[in-house]
Amino acid sequence: MPLPSIQALLLLLATFWVQAPSQDTREVIRRDVCIIGGGASGVYTAIRLRQRNYSVVVIEKEGRLGGHTETYLDPDTNTPIGFGVALYQDSPETVDFFTGLGVPVERILPGGGTVQRIDLRTGEAVAPYPGNTSEALARYVAVLQQYPYLATGWSLPDVVPEDLLMTFGELTAKYDLGAAMEVISLYTQGVRYWLDYPAVYILKFMSLALMQALQTGFLQTARHDNSEVYRAALTELGPDAMLHSVVVNSSRAGDAVHQLTVRAADGTSTLIEADTTVLAVAPAGDVLQGLDLDASEASLFGRFIHGHYYAGLVKVANFAPDAQIINRGADTPYGLPDLPCTLMLEAVGVPGLVRVSYASEEPMTALAVQQAVVEDLGRVVGGNGAEAEFVAFADHSPFEMSVSREAIEGGFYQAAGGLQGHRNTFYVGATWEFPGASPIWQAVDRLMPSIVARLGG
Ligand SMILES: Cc1cc2nc3c(=O)[nH]c(=O)nc-3n(C[C@H](O)[C@H](O)[C@H](O)COP(=O)(O)OP(=O)(O)OC[C@H]3O[C@@H](n4cnc5c(N)ncnc54)[C@H](O)[C@@H]3O)c2cc1C
Ligand SMILES: *[C@@H]1O[C@H](CO)[C@@H](O)[C@H](O)[C@H]1NC(C)=O
Ligand SMILES: *[C@@H]1O[C@H](CO)[C@@H](O)[C@H](O)[C@H]1NC(C)=O
Ligand SMILES: *[C@@H]1O[C@H](CO)[C@@H](O)[C@H](O)[C@H]1NC(C)=O
């Protein structure tokens, strides 16, 4: 084989030289809006902006869109089983969002199955709390009707009424709501301990719209696959959804194009340039590391506290096929279970699979939660639960972002409202309107004119 000439070698070297990576290899992407977080609020914002012909990019940490919406595909029966967001309050925006992405919805009335109340610390049955539940719920609705502004956002009056500031325990005593507590606690799963909490959070969570849905029904996806809409959104967004990606640094001036450096799990970095940033993640934990917070943002975000909420699916023999077990305290106020604890164990229609939920005020490891649930299951199905095995698990923390009574009284939410648009940054999602996806989407629609105004629209 003839030796290559010096010239040919030099040519080869030069080619490599040209192709060799430079120091800053960041691809630059220019969009109208950069959305951080690809859960319910981020995806909805992206789809709505694209409908108005604005360009977007969605930065999502996980390898899928949907956030709290989680689905397990049972390999034996090929059945999708949701263990996160499942039911939606009926609203035109919700129907439009689903059907626009090719996902039909249907109406479903809650309840139906037989509920067993069990103190999971002992496995003993607990009697229902005495009193007339319908009458207590009617009293609860009458309280809600005094504060109609709770239905939309956090536009609290300057002097916040004492009913909203007192603990939910005090409100319960004041209006004799004990017989409504079981229903309220079931629909406000995952909040911190109900009775100690400023009442406004329970009143926001168990809203008039939610009370209405208990009577008229919720929406669910007709093909019973709660993640279908997010897979459709991923297809629709294509490369505009950046999965496995987080923001590592940002510069968000109010009068200049925003620059955000995004790093993907494979190590590649991208520079996003956008007119506006939308934060669709709870402002807590790692997402704050990459954001250039100013003093007002940092001081507001620093006041939030939150609970810890876990959900999963467990494979276990001997669990009755239609059982729904709720954890109640035999000797606790209103039968509310003490946190941390399992909240609910319910059959999901696939034999041997049980959906579980668990709440804690302090963070817990997945292993600690799973061990506690397995022990509880042992007290229900007999044996020691050793046969029980988690096939799916999700940590939904941070869940239920909240602030203290003093902060609410001191105008926290008025100040937080003033953050919308500050430094061309907008905030959507469960921190700013909760609990359900439908009210969160309605809040996005209310914010849309302000976002569009920044885009020269
Ligand atoms: C178990 C459970 C069940 C629920 N069930 C219902 C229900 O049936 N009906 C209902 O209406 N509501 C339900 N909810 C309420 C739910 O919180 C809201 O409906 C809604 O999903 C909240 O949307 P979001 O966009 O605020 O948050 P999420 O859906 O959590 O979206 C946040 C997204 O940001 C991503 N993310 C996090 N950190 C970063 C980061 N650093 N960088 C980039 N991305 C990041 C997350 O992975 C996630 O995808 C449920 C909540 C939980 C926890
Ligand atoms: C978006 O662009 C399409 C194609 O150019 C156009 O038909 C449509 O009317 C535009 N929509 C809006 C809301 O401007
Ligand atoms: C509860 O109160 C309602 C309305 O007053 C009444 O119709 C119903 O029969 C009561 N239920 C029970 C179990 O007493
Ligand atoms: C942001 O991170 C990128 C990649 O690490 C780096 O090149 C850039 O200098 C950083 N920018 C700022 C403002 O820190």
248 lines ligand 4 (CB under 6 A): yes
Residue 175 sits in the same domain as residue 255: no
CATH of the domain at 72: 3.50.50.60
Residue-wise pLDDT for 251-262, tens only, equals 999 989 999 999
Residue 311 sits in the same domain as residue 228: no
How open is the CA angle 232-236-240, to the nearest 5 degrees?
Answer: 125
- Token pair, residue 434, equals 């909760």
Backbone angles phi, psi at 290, to 5 degrees: -90, -5
414 lines ligand 4 (CB under 6 A): no
CATH of the domain at 178: 3.90.660
CB 215 within 8 A of CB 110: no
Residue 322 sits in the same domain as residue 247: no
In a domain, 441, yes or no: yes
Residue-wise pLDDT for 392-408, tens only, equals 999 999 999 999 999 99
- pLDDT value at position 115? 92
Which residue lies with its CA nearest to atom 3 of ligand 4?
Answer: 261
- pLDDT value at position 390? 97
259 lines ligand 4 (CB under 6 A): no
Residues with CB under 6 A from ligand 1: 36-42, 59-62, 67-68, 84-88, 190, 246, 280-281, 286-287, 309, 311, 396, 399, 429-430, 435-437, 440
Residue 367 sits in the same domain as residue 298: no
For 390, counting Cβ atoms within 10 Å of its Cβ (0-12 exposed, 13-18 middle, 19+ buried), the class is middle
- Please give the average per-residue pLDDT across 46-72, as a whole number: 98
Between the CA of residue 234 and those of 63, 229, 305, 328, what are the distances in Å?
Answer: 11, 9, 31, 40
CB 171 within 8 A of CB 140: no
- pLDDT value at position 381? 87
Residues in contact with 5: Cβ distance below 8 Å, sequence separation at least 6, in sequence order? none
In a domain, 13, yes or no: no
What is the rounded CA–CA span in Å between residue 163 and residue 178?
16
CB 396 within 8 A of CB 190: yes
In a domain, 22, yes or no: no
- pLDDT value at position 6? 52
Residue 287 sits in the same domain as residue 384: no
For 256, counting Cβ atoms within 10 Å of its Cβ (0-12 exposed, 13-18 middle, 19+ buried), the class is exposed
CB 90 within 8 A of CB 438: yes
Could you identify the atom of ligand 4 that is nearest to the CA of residue 24? 7
DSSP annotation of 328: -
Residue-wise pLDDT for 95-127, tens only, equals 999 999 999 999 999 876 789 999 999 999 999
What is the rounded CA–CA span in Å between residue 211 and residue 129?
20
In a domain, 236, yes or no: yes
In a domain, 416, yes or no: no
CA 211 to ligand 4 center in whole angstroms:
49
Look at the chain and report how many structural domains it folds into: 2
Which residue lies with its CA nearest to atom 4 of ligand 1?
Answer: 85
Helix (H) or strand (E) segment spanning residue 352: none
Residue 126 sits in the same domain as residue 200: yes
Catalogue the E-assigned strands of 83-136: 105-108, 115-119, 124-125
Residue 316 sits in the same domain as residue 287: no
CA 183 to ligand 1 center in whole angstroms:
23
Residues in contact with 307: Cβ distance below 8 Å, sequence separation at least 6, in sequence order? 190, 191, 192, 359, 360, 361, 397, 398, 399, 400
- pLDDT value at position 190? 87
Residue 120 sits in the same domain as residue 206: yes
Asked which of 378, 397, 416 is the last residue of a domain, the reply is 397
Which residue lies with its CA nearest to atom 11 of ligand 3?
Answer: 132
In a domain, 253, yes or no: yes
CB 95 within 8 A of CB 105: yes
DSSP track, 32-96: EEEEE--SHHHHHHHHHHHHTT--EEEE-SSSSS-TT--EEEETTTTEEEE-S---B---HHHHH
128 lines ligand 3 (CB under 6 A): no
Residue-wise pLDDT for 279-288, tens only, equals 999 999 999 9
Residue 271 sits in the same domain as residue 338: no
Q: Which domain holds residue 41?
A: 27-106+221-304+428-454
Which residue lies with its CA nearest to atom 5 of ligand 2?
Answer: 53
Residue 232 sits in the same domain as residue 94: yes
Q: Is the pLDDT of residue 447 over 60?
A: yes
Residue 114 sits in the same domain as residue 212: yes
Among all ligands shown, which has an atom nearest to the Cα of 50?
Answer: 2
In a domain, 289, yes or no: yes
Between the CA of residue 127 and those of 13, 119, 191, 322, what are the distances in Å?
Answer: 82, 10, 24, 20
What is the rounded CA–CA span in Å between residue 97 and residue 109?
21
Which residue lies with its CA nearest to atom 12 of ligand 2?
Answer: 52
- Closest listed residue to residue 107, CA positions, set 254, 214, 263: 214
DSSP annotation of 213: H
Please give the model's pTM, rounded to 2 decimal places.
Answer: 0.94
- Average pLDDT of the chain, as a whole number: 93
- Measured in whole angstroms, the distance separating CA 231 from the mean position of its chain's CA atoms is 17
CA 53 to ligand 2 center in whole angstroms:
6
Mutate to test the pocket of ligand 2, among 50, 53, 448 (most ligand atoms within 8 A of CB): 53
In a domain, 404, yes or no: no
